[in-house]
Structure 1
Amino acid sequence: MICPHCEQSLLRKERPGNVCGKCGRRYALDPKTNPLKLNDLRVRRIVLKLGQEGQVPCTPGQLWYALSRKTLRSTRVETGCIVALAVVGFFLGIIGLSSDTGGFAVVGGLSLLAALGLVVAAVAGVGRGRPRLAREAFRTGPMAEWQSVYGALPDGMVDDRTHPATTPQVGAAVGPSDGIVLVCPDRSVAAFLDAAGLTARYGVTLVAEPYSLPAAPDRTLLVLHDADAQGLLLTHQIRSALPAGRVVDIGLPLGAVQGLTRAVPVRGEAPEAWVMEQLAAKREFSPAQLKWLRKGWGFPLVGVPPAKLLAVVSRAVERAHATDDPVRRRAAAVGFLTWPEAGR
């Protein structure tokens, strides 16, 4: 690997205990000792890419997905194991057949069967979508190591554990009864949106869940969620629990991301039966989509590029402001500052 300090190439024996044998300085991540094969230079490069060279911040959750995308596409079956079992099985089988030693032939046959089983598992995609390193483990593992070495998270990153927007006391943070509330259960995404200036720019109240909000018929709730079974049901649950007010689903929509090349899904625990029953009753998803969701598949909000997510949410907030403002509604009704159309 390349030392992030002196930029010299280091062999494994030249970097004991994550200390460079040439410049003597300690680094945080060694690709040989973490499941994602991370190193300091790669982490810094991805953080800069996520933040578009410092234009927007990012969070550990967003970095976790960006660094996990490649492994999410692959299965848990290692090609090296298949090759090793096949080679051992072949040679043991040859030895057993040529020397009339039945034990070698049996072991060789079992090795070949095991290799064939792994091939079938790889073709079937066993383990695909399962993170090599869980999101929380990434936070307490590589990111904790980084903070231990450098004293802080990478430059341009917001700590989603300590950011003020992630406080669970949602009721105390609510603004005017007729204001706009943005519901975002993902703590990492909520911290990003607040750090990027969304709440300050538009006067939006950001909450993790809205069920403790006082009734307000003039309040608009914008709901931001993952595109998995539980997330896709969230807007319907809020509408049922809070009939007063306007509830708008602003994504993540399953149909908009499913099938995109860069949108890599994550597979978690299978949803409970009642969740799937309610989703099926809404008649918004095809049988194939329901089957896919039932297996625990989904697209997380942290997988959306930060700048794109900020732009989409900002447009949704602007539309909500335009709809809520009576002056803008009257202007739109008379066509103020709109291009004349034929027949009007």
Structure 2
Amino acid sequence: MICPHCEKSLLRKERPGNVCGKCGRRYALDPKTNPLQLNDLRVRRTALALGQDGQVPCTPGQLWYALSRKSLRETQVEMGCGVTLMIAGVVVLLVGLGSKGAVVATLGGLLLLVALGFVVAEAMGVGRGRPRVTREAFRTGPLEAWKSVYDSLPPGVIDDSRYPAPGRRPKNGGVAPEPVDGIVLVCPDRSIAVFLDAAGLTARHGVTLVADPAALTATPGRGPVLVLHDADAHGLLLAHRVRAAQPARPVVDIGLPLGAVQGLARAVPVRGEQPGASVMKLLAQSGEFSSGQLKWLSSGWGFPLVGVPPAKLLAVVSRAVEKAAAAADPQRRRAASLGFLTWPEESA
């Protein structure tokens, strides 16, 4: 690996205890000792790329996905073991046949069968989409190791340990616009809520962030409720839950839409726990998904919000909030009905 400090190439024996044998400085991550094969330079490059060199913030959840994308595409089958077993099986089988030893030949056949199992598992994609490191383990593992060395999170990464408090205002004496009849954004993902808040969305538009539809009882009003969710079985039902909880308020599902990301080369899905029969029944009854999509969702597959590039996600959500604010403002609705920058006609 390359030392992140002196940028010299280091052999494994030249970096005992995560200390560079050439410059003597400690580093956080060694690719040989963590499941994601991370090193400090890769983490730093990825964090800066996510934040577009400081133009937007990013959170540990977003960094976790970006660093996990490669491994999510791969199976968790150790084909090296399969190849070793296959070679050993062939050798043992040939020895057994040559010496007419039935026991030895049988052992060789069994080794070949086990090796075939590895091949079948690889072909079936066993383990594909399963994170090598969970989001929580990423926080307590690689990120803690990073903070122990550098005393802070990677560059541009902000702390998302708490859901943002409602009613926050800009620092330095800035004043946020008043909410337009109580616009609320429901977003269960804490990383994304913190990202949107840190990017200034809530302060700019006076939006209240809540994690669960039940919290809407504390945000009275008739303004629109925007719903932002993962494209998995539970996330795709969130807007339905919000509508049931707030029948008197307009509810707008702003994504993540399954049809918009499924099949995209850069959209790598994650596989979690399989949803229950009741969840799948509601999805089927909605009529929004094909049989193939329902089967895919029933296996626990989905696309997380943290996988959307931060700048793109911020732009999409900002447009949705601006559109909702315009629709909720009577004066802006009247202006839109008259036409934007149209020349008034003379009365007859």
TM-score with structure 2 setting the length: 0.92
Distance 2:298 2:213 in 1: 26
Match of 2:175 in 1: none
Deviation (angstroms), 1:335: 1.2
Match of 2:293 in 1: 289
Match of 1:13 in 2: 13
Match of 1:183 in 2: 186
Conserved 8 A contact 1:271-1:296: yes
Alignment of 1:33-48 (within 5 A): 33-48=33-48
Alignment of 1:187-206 (within 5 A): 187-206=190-209
Aligned pair count?
Answer: 335
Match of 1:319 in 2: 323
Conserved 8 A contact 1:211-1:242: no
Match of 1:207 in 2: 210
Question: Secondary structure of 2:95's match?
Answer: helix
1:27-74 deviation digits (Å, cap 9, x = unpaired): 000001000000000000111111112111111101111111111111
Deviation (angstroms), 1:239: 0.3
Q: Percent identity?
A: 71
Alignment of 1:1-344 (within 5 A): 1-162=1-162, 165-167=163-165, 178-214=181-217, 216-337=220-341
Conserved 8 A contact 1:171-1:213: no
Deviation (angstroms), 1:213: 2.8
Q: Which runs of 4+ in 1 moved over 3 A?
A: 170-173, 214-217
Deviation (angstroms), 1:76: 0.9
Question: Secondary structure of 2:185's match?
Answer: strand
Deviation (angstroms), 1:102: 2.8
Deviation (angstroms), 1:104: 2.5
Distance 2:83 2:158 in 1: 43
Amino acid at match of 1:132: R
1:306-343 deviation digits (Å, cap 9, x = unpaired): 01000000000110111111111111111132599xxx
CA RMSD of aligned residues (A): 1.9
- Where does the alignment leave 5 or more consecutive residues of structure 2 unmatched? 170-177
Question: Secondary structure of 2:234's match?
Answer: helix
Deviation (angstroms), 1:97: 1.5
Question: Secondary structure of 1:222's match?
Answer: strand
- Where does the alignment leave 5 or more consecutive residues of structure 1 unmatched? none
Distance 1:294 1:325 in 2: 41
Residues 1:55 and 1:243: Cα distance change in structure 2 (over 3 Å): same
Deviation (angstroms), 1:166: 3.2
1:115-161 deviation digits (Å, cap 9, x = unpaired): 11111111111111111111111111101111111111011001111
Deviation (angstroms), 1:172: 11
Residues 1:296 and 1:339: Cα distance change in structure 2 (over 3 Å): farther
